[in-house]
Structure 1
Amino acid sequence: MKVSFHGHSVVKIQTAGKVILIDPFISGNGLTDLVASEEKPDVILLTHAHNDHVGDTVELALRNNSQVVAPVELANYLAGQGVETVGMNLGGAKEFEFGTVKYTKAFHSSSYTTPEGDAIYGGMPAGILFKAEGKAIYHAGDTEVFGDMEIIGNRNEIDLAFVPIGDFFTMGPDDAAYAVELIKPKTVVPIHYNTFPPINQDPEYFKGLVKGAEVKIMQPGDVIDY
């Protein structure tokens, strides 16, 4: 399994001969190393409906016949755009041929703004717990810290966690470090920072706060091999 980071909250997982993209915000993302027209995901997993997470989903899915897994209201909207979707909800898990996807709580908001300026309700925001090849990867999505992260950590041996540290729209470095104590991952990667001025942060400051986990500050394109 290969897991790579591509700026903002974009994560790519390669497993079981499949390419999985989480929150593929590529076009308009000044930090990413990806080019939307060159990506060929088999599967797209979405945490919530905000445009900086849905990103290039429709274009990618239509061009590559990608399966899109998303919170159910967002999945219903994307299905109306011609995309093949699987709509899930918090606490629900499904075993796919490429691995198991479970949606967890996140505390945030969730709406998609169309090119015409209309706001589409995207359902509950979520985190994603992905399991494959004996590994568990937790993508927290956009969220504040919350006590039930301890449940996620207690009930799952998490190998790798991606947590937002940008503050302003999500938890900042101090709260994110506390979240790591609750989640108890072996390795944690900070995400959702430095993409826009309001979320500028120093990941080294976050690293210095974290206890009990290895912190990897990944640059766009960096890969973790399992």
Structure 2
Amino acid sequence: MELKFLGHACFLLDDGTCKVLTDPFLTGNALAAADARQVDADFIFVTHGHGDHTGDAEAIARRTGATVCCTVDLAEGVFGPAGVKTQVGNLGGTIAMPFGSAKFFQAIHGSGAAGCLSCGFIFTIGGKKIYHAGDTALMSDMALLADEDIDAALLPIGDVFTMGPADALRAVRMIRPQLVIPMHYDTFPPIVQDAATFAAAVESAGFRARVLHPGESLTL
């Protein structure tokens, strides 16, 4: 199962059969490692309605025929009216997917769209479990994820709008994943962070960490 970081909160998960894209903020992102006009996807998962997460989802879905997966309210308010295919769920729910499944996990953050909730996703894909936290503050509910046997946790560290490095480290101790990958940092001046220092702190706490620069990938 290949995991590729495209920048900000955008990852491409590829199990060899399905391509799963998350929060594709590429156009207008100077650090993006891909052109939205060339990215392929079968499914696009969007955590909430802020522009740096909805990004190019609509355009990519129109070009590729991909299905946008998101909360009911986000589909009804944004993607349904745009005329793209959607598959919906809501917090606590799990949807069966051709690649496995995706569980909607709570996030504490603004939604960017009236009446919507923000979320993260727990993907079961390629025999692995990947937690994409979306934009979130630290929350005690993350302790529930310790029972999920998370193979890789994709956690925001930018601070200001989400958890910062210190709270993200506290999240790691609750989640207890096999691997930690930081995201949602450096894209804008307010969220510039030293990802290498964060990764070193994660390693010192007894967990594995990997900093992926935009365009880098790894195999789980």
Q: Is the 8 A contact 2:156 2:163 kept in 1?
A: yes
Q: Which of 131, 136, 140 does residue 124 from structure 2 map onto?
A: 131
* Match of residue 111 from structure 2: 110
Tell whether the 8 Å contact from 2:18 to 2:98 is kept in structure 1 after alignment.
no
Is the 2:46–2:68 Cα contact (8 Å) retained in structure 1?
A: yes
Task: State whether residues 16 and 98 of structure 1, in contact with CA within 8 Å, keep that contact through their aligned partners in structure 2.
Answer: no
Structure 1 gap segments, 5+ residues each: 112-119
What pairs up with 1:10-89 in 2 under 5 angstroms? 10-76=10-76, 77-89=78-90
Alpha-carbon RMSD? 1.0
**Counterparts of 2:19 and 2:48, CA distance in 1:** 20
Q: Does the aligned pair in 1 maintain the 2:5–2:11 contact within 8 Å?
A: yes
Q: What is the CA–CA distance in structure 2 between the aligned matches of 1:75 and 1:55, rounded to whole Å?
A: 14
> Within 1, Cα distance between the matches of 2:11 and 2:172?
19
Task: Select 2:194's aligned residue among 179, 202, 207.
Answer: 202
Contact residue 150 and residue 182 of structure 1 kept, 8 A: yes
Give the CA deviation at 1:25.
Answer: 0.4
Partner of 1:3: 3
TM-score (norm 1): 0.93
Q: Secondary structure at the match of 1:59?
A: helix
Q: Give deviations 1:143-174, integer Å, cap 9, x for gaps.
A: 11111100112x20000010000000001000
TM-score by length of 2: 0.96
SS at match of 2:7: coil
Of 203, 206, 215, the match for 2:209? 215
Distance 1:46 1:15 in 2: 19
- Give ranges in structure 2 of 5+ residues lacking alignment: none
Q: Which amino acid aligns with 2:132?
A: H
- Which residue identity is paired with 2:111? S
Q: 2: distance between equivalents of 1:18 and 1:132? A: 9
Q: Which residue pairs with 2:143 in the alignment? A: 150
Post-superposition offset of 1:221: 1.3
Deviation at 1:212, TM superposition (A): 2.5
CA contact (8 A) 1:189 1:217 kept: yes
Question: Following superposition, which runs of at least 4 residues in structure 1 exceed 2 angstroms of deviation?
Answer: none
Match of 1:96 in 2: 97
User: Are the aligned partners of 1:48 and 1:122 in contact in 2 as well (CA < 8 Å)?
Assistant: no
2:153 is paired with a residue whose SS is strand
Question: Secondary structure of 1:20's match?
Answer: strand
> AA paired with 2:66?
S
Distance 2:93 2:206 in 1: 29
1:205, CA displacement in angstroms? 2.0
* Cα distance, 1:157–1:88 mapped onto 2, change above 3 Å: same
Q: In 1, Cα distance between the equivalents of 2:41 and 2:217? A: 17
Q: What's the CA shift for 1:137?
A: 0.2
- C-alpha distance in 1 between matches for 2:89 and 2:63: 23
Residue 40 of structure 1, CA deviation: 1.7
Contact 2:95 2:101 survives alignment (8 Å): yes
1:148 aligned counterpart, secondary structure: helix
Q: Secondary structure at the match of 1:163?
A: strand
For 2:75, what is the secondary structure of its paired residue?
helix
Q: Percent identity?
A: 41
